[in-house]
Amino acid sequence: NRENFLRAERLHVMSELSASVSHEIRNPLTVTKGFLQLLSVSRTIKDEDKAYIEYSLQELIRAENILNDYLAFAKPQSENMVHSDLKEEMEYVKNVLMPFAVFNNVEIDYQFTNSLKKDYDQNQMKQCLINIMKNSIEAMKDDGGTLSIKVMEQGKNIIISIQDNGVGMTNDEIRQLGKPYYSTKKEGTGLGMLMVYGTISKIKGKIDVQSRTGEGTTFTITIPT
């Protein structure tokens, strides 16, 4: 339909754009980091002032992480597609997010069948699942709740369902998902869902979003095996 078409088109433009942008930005970041590292060992700079250099270095690293986490997917040829087990990626992501969930009073309920083999890029898949589940946890952070993850095989498809009982979204908000920089959060990047749609469409998967404000959201990802 038209919505999916527009989304695919946006994705295409964005991935072309971000591939070159992330490459162009990485260079000045690296140069700046190098000079700051030189300054940090300078003997003419006071220790108090070195703290500022340290903060600057930390922030540069954070910027690099954003490039790595969100824009790395944009390089079309650098994917490392490997026949892997989705169950392992899911388990990895669940463990990585456990402390974040606990901190936000969110319980993780996890249901699995067995191993689910498929060709995909393991790092991208991890990042993609992290981006979805992190959003779900963030949607519940005020009152806590349950993040319910189910993975099953249904005929020739792998179905991943990620459900939260958080703030939910209006239909209009659902339509904005995957739009670059669309975020309703104070410190949001608005790049997480863009990455999610990119990764899933690369492996010919589909994402269905069911949501109700004040009730919660369910993402259902269908991936052909």
Out of 145, 166, 192, 198, which residue is the one contacting Mg ion (CB under 5 A)? 192
Report whether 213 contacts 172 (CB < 8 A): no
Q: Which does 146 bind (CB under 5 to 8 A by kind): ligand ADP, Mg ion, none?
A: none
SS3 assignment, position 202: helix
214: left (phi over 0), alpha (psi -120 to 50) or beta: left
Could you tell me the smallest distance in angstroms from the CB atom of residue 76 to ligand ADP? 21
Q: Is 182 in the site for ligand ADP (CB under 6 A)?
A: yes
Structure tokens of 98? 């456990």
Q: Which of 184, 206, 215, 225 binds ligand ADP (CB under 6 A)?
A: 184
Residue with nearest beta carbon to ligand ADP = 192
CA proximity to 196, closest of 184, 188, 206, 186: 206
Note whether 185 binds ligand ADP by CB under 6 A.
Answer: yes
Are 158 and 151 in contact, with CB atoms under 8 Å apart? Answer: yes
Binding positions for Mg ion, 131-190, rule CB under 5 A: 135
Who's near 176: CB < 8 A, 6+ residues apart?
A: 182
- Which of the listed partners (Mg ion, ligand ADP, none) does 217 bind, with a CB threshold of 5 to 8 Å by partner kind? ligand ADP
Count of residues that bind ligand ADP according to CB under 6 A:
21
183 lies in the site for ligand ADP, by CB under 6 A: yes
The residue among 19 and 207 lying less far from ligand ADP, judged by its C-beta, is 207
Residue 147 interacting with ligand ADP (CB under 6 A) = no
* 24 to 29, 72, 98, 124, 208: CA distances (angstroms): 9, 13, 35, 21, 34
Any contact of residue 131 with ligand ADP (CB under 6 A)? Answer: yes
Question: What, of ligand ADP, Mg ion, none, does residue 184 touch, CB below 5 to 8 Å by kind?
Answer: ligand ADP
H or E stretch at 163 = strand 157-164
